[in-house]
């Protein structure tokens, strides 16, 4: 079964902020592949990002953070960016901050 893909406005802005068109295209292609079996792709995240998943994109440097809504059969992309462990602009750090500031609803497993 194919899932629909929804990209939040914040994630879309992150994607548009990437200046290299080749990298942007690779990320979009990776996002498109989430239509088929998104639960089987990437890795589940822990802690404050529990309930979300992450896949590598564009040479494994960028991450796409998403959650899967089975009730509506949709994949929601919440963030796109570089993995820079320890850096203020690390994509996981930014995603946690977005959840803390209620810019993205935390995943609630029902």
Report all structural domains of the chain as residue ranges with CATH numbers, in order of start: 4-100 (3.30.2310.20)
Closest CA to 13 of 102, 101, 83, 77: 77
Q: Which two tokens stand for residue 4?
A: 């629909």
DSSP output for 46-78: -GGGTT-EEEEETTTTEEEEEEEETTTTEEEEE
23: Cβ–Cβ under 8 A, 6 or more apart, which residues? 58, 59, 62
| Ordered per-residue pLDDT tens for the chain, 110 residues | 788 999 999 999 999 999 999 999 999 999 999 999 898 999 999 998 999 999 999 887 899 999 998 767 788 888 889 888 888 889 899 988 888 888 876 555 54
Are 14 and 81 a contacting pair, CB within 8 Å? Answer: yes
């Amino acid at each position: 079964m194919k899932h629909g893909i929804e990209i939040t406005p914040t994630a879309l802005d992150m994607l548009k902020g990437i200046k290299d068109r080749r990298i942007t295209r690779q990320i979009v292609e990776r996002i498109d592949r989430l239509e088929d079996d998104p639960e089987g792709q990437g890795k589940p995240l822990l802690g404050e990002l529990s309930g979300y998943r992450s896949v590598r994109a564009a040479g494994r440097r960028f991450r796409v953070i998403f959650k899967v809504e089975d009730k509506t059969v949709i994949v929601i992309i919440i963030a796109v960016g570089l993995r820079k462990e320890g850096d203020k602009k690390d994509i996981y750090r930014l995603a946690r901050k977005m959840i803390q500031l209620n810019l993205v609803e935390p995943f609630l497993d029902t």
